[in-house]
Amino acid sequence: MNIAQMLNKLEVSLPGEVVNRLERHAEVQRQQEFFLRMLKPEEVREMLDALSDFEVFESILPLWTDDNSNYIALYVDGSLKYRICYLNHEETDNSPAFRSVENFIRELEKDRQQDWEDLNKDYPSLAAQADLEDLSIIQELVKQSERQQMDEDLRRQCLFSMMALIPQDLLPTILPFVEDEDPYVRERALATFKRHGMSVGKLKRELHVRGETGMGK
């Protein structure tokens, strides 16, 4: 069963260029052994069944594994559509790590012995400014996180993803999360400031001088 047949059986629709790239990579994996190997169709089905009871894994299609209960997955729907994330068996963090299947496979094929930690990833972002596509996703994720009665775990993953994409010029957007009621969100917000080399206190002082709020208004 090839990639297109598997996706058809799973009722998953992907752009032709994405399917073709996955097919080419699958052929490379058939010829060489990779540390991060592609899942067999039956393994994909099994993983989808195992994840189906958890809302935080909706729209995620596992496609690779390190055979240590960790998986690499493709978002097939939603705000993060076509981005790549890592499913760590020790902690849940579905934030995107690669912008596309192409970017991930290109990096993976540089060295077939690479583990996930060895790969040079697109996210978390270190950019000074977001491109228009990422900016649109950031805005959508912020809106999602503000929905009333949203599940705590789902909100956390939404904010984790938003902060993975956030560039330096939008750091005021996440100031409120430094004091969020969710300790994991607080921790991630502080880590995001640290990643960009920005002090929370310094940013607050700058915003105060400019008469702005933590949401950049």
Bridge-based pairing state of the strands 96-98 and 71-75: unpaired
Backbone angles phi, psi at 66, to 5 degrees: -100, 5
- Residue 215 falls within a domain, yes or no? no
Domain boundaries, position 21: 3-118
Is the same domain home to 79 and 164?
Answer: no
- Domain boundary, last residue among 118, 150, 184: 118
- Residue 125 falls within a domain, yes or no? no
Is the same domain home to 15 and 98?
Answer: yes
Rounded Cα gap, residues 13 and 116, in angstroms: 26
Is the same domain home to 113 and 21?
Answer: yes
Q: Write the CATH number for 70.
A: 3.40.1580
Q: What's the structural domain count of the chain? A: 2
Dmax over CA atoms of the chain, in Å, equals 62
Q: Which residues on neighbouring strands pair with residue 74, listed in sequence order?
A: 61, 84
Is the same domain home to 100 and 194?
Answer: no
**% of the chain at pLDDT higher than 70:** 96
Rounded Cα gap, residues 200 and 178, in angstroms: 8
- pLDDT score for 209: 72
Please report, to the nearest 10 degrees, the dihedral formed by the alpha carbons of residues 78, 83, 87, 91 taken in order: -70
Q: Indicate the pTM of the whole model.
A: 0.91
Is the same domain home to 142 and 92?
Answer: no
- Residue 151 falls within a domain, yes or no? yes
Report pLDDT digits (tens) over 19-77.
Answer: 999 999 999 999 999 999 999 999 999 999 999 989 999 899 999 999 999 999 999 99
Residue 199, pLDDT above cutoff 80: yes
Report pLDDT digits (tens) over 124-173.
Answer: 999 999 899 999 999 999 999 998 788 999 999 999 999 999 999 999 99
- Residue 144 falls within a domain, yes or no? yes
Report pLDDT digits (tens) over 77-118.
Answer: 999 999 999 999 889 999 999 999 999 999 999 999 999 999
| Residue whose C-alpha is closest to residue 159's, from 141, 135, 143, 172 | 141
